[in-house]
């Protein structure tokens, strides 16, 4: 189960990163854009690291307060929640093994 959770966050962060890159590409070329709500949704669902890296690397949405402030706040809330879950979870939850059984 823990492996699936880790995989979920890895995939979601990669997708969030890619969405910011694609949206920047489309913005420069005046094409149809990815809605801001979709970009923020991916951050809220767990892709905040990928969203933040995408924002910084592609210099995209960095002037808009809902992204400039919102994405780091989402990341901080998610990090605090992860710390709380790890500290309050039984030891079995913390035993994540990446070695194939």
- pLDDT tens track for 53-96: 999 999 999 999 999 999 999 999 999 998 888 888 665 555 55
Q: What is the pLDDT of residue 99?
A: 56
Q: What is the pLDDT of residue 65?
A: 93
Q: What is the pLDDT of residue 101?
A: 53
Annotated domain spans of the chain:
38-90
Q: Please check the confidence at residue 98 and state whether its pLDDT lies above 80.
A: no
Angle at 41 between CA 62 and CA 54, to 5 degrees: 35
Q: Please check the confidence at residue 35 and state whether its pLDDT lies above 70.
A: yes
Asked if residues 51 and 84 have their Cβ atoms less than 8 Å apart, the reply is: no
Whole-number percent of the chain with pLDDT over 90: 73
Q: What is the pLDDT of residue 88?
A: 82
pTM to 2 decimal places? 0.82
Whole-number percent of the chain with pLDDT over 70: 86
Return the half-sphere exposure (C-beta side, CA atoms, 13 A cut-off) of residue 63.
0
């Amino acid at each position: 189960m823990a492996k699936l959770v880790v995989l979920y966050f890895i995939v979601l962060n990669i997708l969030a990163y890619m969405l910011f890159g694609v949206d920047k590409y489309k913005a420069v070329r005046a094409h149809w854009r990815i809605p801001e709500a979709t970009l923020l949704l991916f951050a809220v669902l767990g892709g905040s690291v990928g969203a933040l890296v995408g924002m910084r690397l592609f210099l995209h949405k960095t002037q808009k307060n809902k992204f400039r402030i919102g994405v780091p706040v989402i990341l901080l809330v998610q990090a605090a929640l992860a710390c709380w879950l790890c500290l309050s979870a039984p030891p079995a939850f913390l035993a994540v093994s990446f070695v194939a059984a």
